[in-house]
């Protein structure tokens, strides 16, 4: 029996379509008690729907049967729900698109798209255009003496996020930037190229292989500066002063980027020893050994190890490996007798043992192979699959994936079906199409489903959902308010531990349950009002972005600072049409998750806002207030803030 590709909504529709009588049993409390919810077949909801044949003519049917999940189209709520997990924020048009082509096809289309926007290129062009402008009055100005700030990165990032068609990649890359953390809270605070180039690595490799990604990151100057292995040197005894390799990257690459502190089963649970204690993955000797591996790397445009960065673009060039430290030749260039120069190994030679594996002794000239070996050892550690699975699921779908969900994703990480380990495309596909991600109600257990939307995503939900549009398709948005009020914009983590920890459990209902709520680490009495007051500014004060002048005397370009245009909604502000208004934004922003009760609270507030109507047309000032306060309230509702 094949089902036609239709959107099935509820019992009656099913009965009409299917030729013989079906008894359909529903479980799942929230579906039945919530009038706003609809029963959806297809990738929005596949479980808890039991199909039993009761037709006497179908004697060869053995009941019950369960509906298969593939081949159905989602309704708009289900489409919007996928987009809430797979994009930074969605538009009504994209929801219709997913509802039309189906979830699997949409995901495949997105995974197949090339990276369409290089932040570094946009930044460079922006930089050049600023130079060209200021050159008119000062011919001496060049790329090298027109200075930028980190805000130029933010503007470039926002431009890409608003215009790139590969929207799944942009969501995944944001997640990666919160796992493989570097940040402007660092030595490259003022260098937008350092931020852009690193973020481009994440965008470029969102759908490649983990092994590729971890190598690109290891060789990226921003990471090398951030975790201080730039110019990291072999153990050295110089004039009685002893120094040892820097241990920073060795520790964090294992703790945060690959395997974590404790040995894991494939389902992400911790292995236990005979005493029931978790088993550490490594000890300090492993760290000291791995630290020796990451020695000998310097700037891509350096002359010797120990050289300093030359300019903005030093941060865009892959690190260069130095087996030998010949810095003395450059630093003490006046020395005439070559024997007086101090030439030592830059890379540490000798056997290195860590994670129970050994990197063989080899000549210092071949030392770079140590790095390859070390990354292979890390990559092949059995923890990486469950470790990355849990982190990526947490970034996209839910704070508390079941062990079975983690295991399904980790299994694909370990082998994509074609014998390839670390295939991120397969991993992302598996996460987004997994029953636990697609089933709206986590097998009926809604108690711990979903995640708190991190503050920055709420901002992106707003600008995407309300269709912020620029006439020239150029946005000049430094996103300052999002950072200042909520403490989060990309590449601004306070430390390598991200804005929040994957293992954070907040006060309140989750305490003592063994469950996590990472994003709650950002939530306190300050940021709670900070967010709502930012909403107040963005929506009610009609100031959705923060324009940034590029140079003194520049003409203001209002088209680069667009406002929301919600006049199309004004017809919906009449009391008799408020339901339509709320349903619309409930769909776009919250994939229809607001409860009827909460919608009623909002409706009560909005219908109390004075509205004068002339010839059936609402006054535009009144309508402005009604629409915007309605969206403010939807975005203040726990049903919106928890994405489940």
Partner 1 sequence: MNRRDFLKHSGCAAMGTTTLLSTLTSLGAVNGAMSHKKFSSKEAVVAEDYKALVCVLLAGGIDSYNVLIPNGTADNGYSEYAATRSDLSIAQASLLSLNNPQCTGFRNIPCNYGSFGIHPAMTGMRDLFNSGKLAFMANIGTLVEPIMNASEFNNGLKKIPDGIYSHSDQIMQWQTSVPQSRSALGVGGRIADLLNAGNVNNQISMNISLAGKNIFQTGENIAEYSISNNVNPNNVGLDVLPTWWSDSGLMNDLRNTSVDSMVGQTYTNSLKETYSGTAKGAIASFDIFKEALKRVPSLATQFPNTSLGNDLAAIAKVISVRGNLGAKRQIFFVTYGGWDMHDGLATGLNQRLPVVSGALKAFYDATVELGIADKVTTFTISDFARTITSNGLGSDHAWGGNSMVIGGSVKGGKIYGAFPRMDLNNSPQNISFRGNFIPAVSTDELYAEMALWYGVSPTDLCYVLPNLGNFYSYTPGNYPIGFMNFNGTSISTDDKPQSCLTY
Site residues (CB under 8 A) for partner 1, limited to 269-288: 278, 280, 284, 287-288
Q: What's the closest the beta carbon of residue 101 comes to partner 1, in angstroms?
A: 30
* Nearer Cβ to partner 1 (153/294): 294
Q: Which residue of 3, 341, 547, 601 would you call a contact of partner 1, by CB under 8 A?
A: 601
Between CA 306 and CA 346 the distance in angstroms is 9
66 binds partner 1 (CB under 8 A): no
494 binds partner 1 (CB under 8 A): yes
Q: Which residue of 74, 192, 245, 300 would you call a contact of partner 1, by CB under 8 A?
A: 245
223 binds partner 1 (CB under 8 A): no
How far is residue 515 from each of residues 34, 179, 368, 436, measured CA to CA in Å? 25, 20, 42, 16
Residue 201 CB: number of other CB atoms within 10 A? Answer: 24
* Nearer Cβ to partner 1 (108/236): 236
Query: Can you say whether the dihedral through the CA atoms of 214, 194, 368, 285 is positive or negative?
Result: negative
Binding-residue total with partner 1 (CB under 8 A): 90
Q: If we measure between CA atoms, which residue out of 268, 380, 362 comes closest to residue 323? A: 362
Q: What's the closest the beta carbon of residue 514 comes to partner 1, in angstroms?
A: 8
Spatial contact of 212 and 205, defined as CB atoms under 8 Å apart:
yes
Residue 242 CB: number of other CB atoms within 10 A? Answer: 9
* Nearer Cβ to partner 1 (42/506): 506
Residues in the chain: 644
* Nearer Cβ to partner 1 (571/629): 629
Query: HEC states along 457-520?
Result: HHHHHHHHHCCCCCCCCCCCCCCHHHHHHHCCCCCCCCCCCCCCCCCCCCCCCCCCCCCCCHHH
Between CA 172 and CA 157 the distance in angstroms is 14
* Nearer Cβ to partner 1 (48/255): 255
232 binds partner 1 (CB under 8 A): yes
* Nearer Cβ to partner 1 (588/633): 633
Between CA 207 and CA 14 the distance in angstroms is 38
Site for partner 1 in 358-417 (CB under 8 A): 399
541 binds partner 1 (CB under 8 A): yes
348 binds partner 1 (CB under 8 A): no
Q: What's the closest the beta carbon of residue 505 comes to partner 1, in angstroms?
A: 8
Between CA 534 and CA 482 the distance in angstroms is 7
Between CA 41 and CA 644 the distance in angstroms is 17
Site for partner 1 in 6-65 (CB under 8 A): 30
* Nearer Cβ to partner 1 (50/528): 528
Q: Which residue of 28, 175, 487, 618 would you call a contact of partner 1, by CB under 8 A?
A: 487
User: Exposure of 360 by Cβ count < 10 A (0-12 exposed, 13-18 middle, 19+ buried)?
Assistant: exposed
Spatial contact of 183 and 492, defined as CB atoms under 8 Å apart:
yes
Query: What binding mask, one character per residue, do residues 603-632 give for partner 1 by CB under 8 A, x or -?
Result: -xxx-xxx--------------x---x--x
529 binds partner 1 (CB under 8 A): yes
Q: What's the closest the beta carbon of residue 642 comes to partner 1, in angstroms?
A: 5
Q: What's the closest the beta carbon of residue 70 comes to partner 1, in angstroms?
A: 28
């Amino acid at each position: 029996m094949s089902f036609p590709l239709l959107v099935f909504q509820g019992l009656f529709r099913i009965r009409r379509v299917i030729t013989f009588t079906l008894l359909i049993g529903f479980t799942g409390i929230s579906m039945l008690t919530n009038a706003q919810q609809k029963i959806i077949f297809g990738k929005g909801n596949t479980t808890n729907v039991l199909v039993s044949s009761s037709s006497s003519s179908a004697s060869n049917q053995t009941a019950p049967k369960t509906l298969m999940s593939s081949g159905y189209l989602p309704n708009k709520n289900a489409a919007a729900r996928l987009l809430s997990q797979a994009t930074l924020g969605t538009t009504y048009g994209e929801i219709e698109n997913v509802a039309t082509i189906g979830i699997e096809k949409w995901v495949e289309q997105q995974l197949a798209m090339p990276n369409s926007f290089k932040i570094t290129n946009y930044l460079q062009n922006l930089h050049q255009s600023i130079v060209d402008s200021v050159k008119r009055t000062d011919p001496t100005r060049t790329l090298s003496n027109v200075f930028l700030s980190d805000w130029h990165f933010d503007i470039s990032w926002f431009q890409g996020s608003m215009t790139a068609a590969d929207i799944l990649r942009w969501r995944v890359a944001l997640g990666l930037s919160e796992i493989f953390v570097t940040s402007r809270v660092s030595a490259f605070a003022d260098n937008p190229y350092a931020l852009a180039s690193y973020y481009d690595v994440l965008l470029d490799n969102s759908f490649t292989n983990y092994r590729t990604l971890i190598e690109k990151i290891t060789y990226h100057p921003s990471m090398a500066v951030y975790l201080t292995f730039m110019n990291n040197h072999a153990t050295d005894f110089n004039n009685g002063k002893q120094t040892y390799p820097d241990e920073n990257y060795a520790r964090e690459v294992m703790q945060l980027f690959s395997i974590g502190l404790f040995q894991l089963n494939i389902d992400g649970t911790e292995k236990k020893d005979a005493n029931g204690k978790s088993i550490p993955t490594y000890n300090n000797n492993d760290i000291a050994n791995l630290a020796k591996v990451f020695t000998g790397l310097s700037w891509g445009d350096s002359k010797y190890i120990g050289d300093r960065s030359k300019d903005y673009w030093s941060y865009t060039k892959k690190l260069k490996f130095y087996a030998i430290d010949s810095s003395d030749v450059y630093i003490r260039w006046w020395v005439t007798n070559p024997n007086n120069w101090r030439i030592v190994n830059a890379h540490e030679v000798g056997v290195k043992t860590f994670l129970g594996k050994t990197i063989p002794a080899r000549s210092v000239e071949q030392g770079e192979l140590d790095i390859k070996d070390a990354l292979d050892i890390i990559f092949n550690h059995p923890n990486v699959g469950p470790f990355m699975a849990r982190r990526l699921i947490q970034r996209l779908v839910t704070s508390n994936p079941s062990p079975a969900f983690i295991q399904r994703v980790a299994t694909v990480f370990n082998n994509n079906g074609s014998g390839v380990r670390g295939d991120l495309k397969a991993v992302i596909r598996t996460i987004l199409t997994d029953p636990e991600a697609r089933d709206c109600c986590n097998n009926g257990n809604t108690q711990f489903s979903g995640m708190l939307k991190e503050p920055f995503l709420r901002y992106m939900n707003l600008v995407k959902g309300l269709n912020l549009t620029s006439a020239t398709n150029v946005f000049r948005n430094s996103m300052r308010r999002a950072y200042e009020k909520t403490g989060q914009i990309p590449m601004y983590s306070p430390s390598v531990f991200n804005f929040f920890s994957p293992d954070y459990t907040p006060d309140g209902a989750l305490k003592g349950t063994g469950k996590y709520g990472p994003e709650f680490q950002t939530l306190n009495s300050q940021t709670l009002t900070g967010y709502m007051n930012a909403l107040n500014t963005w929506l009610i004060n009609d100031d959705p972005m923060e324009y940034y002048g590029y140079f003194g005397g520049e003409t203001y370009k209002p088209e680069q600072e667009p406002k929301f245009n919600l006049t199309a909604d004004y017809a919906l502000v009449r009391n008799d049409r408020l339901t339509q208004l709320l349903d619309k934004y409930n769909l776009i922003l919250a994939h229809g998750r607001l409860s009827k009760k909460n919608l009623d609270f909002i409706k009560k507030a909005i219908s109390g806002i004075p509205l004068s109507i002339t010839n059936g047309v609402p006054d535009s000032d009144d309508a402005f207030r009604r629409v915007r306060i309605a969206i403010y309230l939807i975005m203040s509702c726990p049903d919106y803030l928890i994405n489940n």
